[in-house]
Structure 1
Amino acid sequence: MTAFPFDLPLAHFLTMTASVIAGALVADSVETSGRRWLDRVRRFLGIR
């Protein structure tokens, strides 16, 4: 029972770290695709 209190926070910490990294990756890809979309819109409006 001594190791269990250490295992639980460690698993929680790993889960939080993984979710933070995944969130950062998703936000980065969304930001880059958003920039591409904005560039397309600007080009479209610039051509018109």
Structure 2
Amino acid sequence: GWGIAGFCPGGAIPALGLGRAETLIFVGAMVAGIAVGRLARTRLARLATT
């Protein structure tokens, strides 16, 4: 997905300083994706142990 947006995750963080909406949307989506992935992994681990 990052190839479509034109940012790699490492380069997107400093690009926030440019103040462009595209960068803010990308970083927000990236952070949301990380949070959802962690939540899913945690819940699946709990299900596997019960």
TM range (shorter): 0.5 to 0.7
Unaligned runs of 5+ in 2: 1-17
Unaligned runs of 5+ in 1: 1-5, 41-48
CA RMSD of aligned residues (A): 1.5
> Percent of aligned pairs with the same residue?
21
Displacement over 4 Å in runs of 4+: none
TM-score calculated relative to the size of structure 2: 0.61
The structure that is helix-richer by fraction is 1
Q: Which has the higher contact order (CA 8 A, sep 6+)?
A: 2
TM-score calculated relative to the size of structure 1: 0.64
State the aligned residue count. 33
Larger Rg: 1
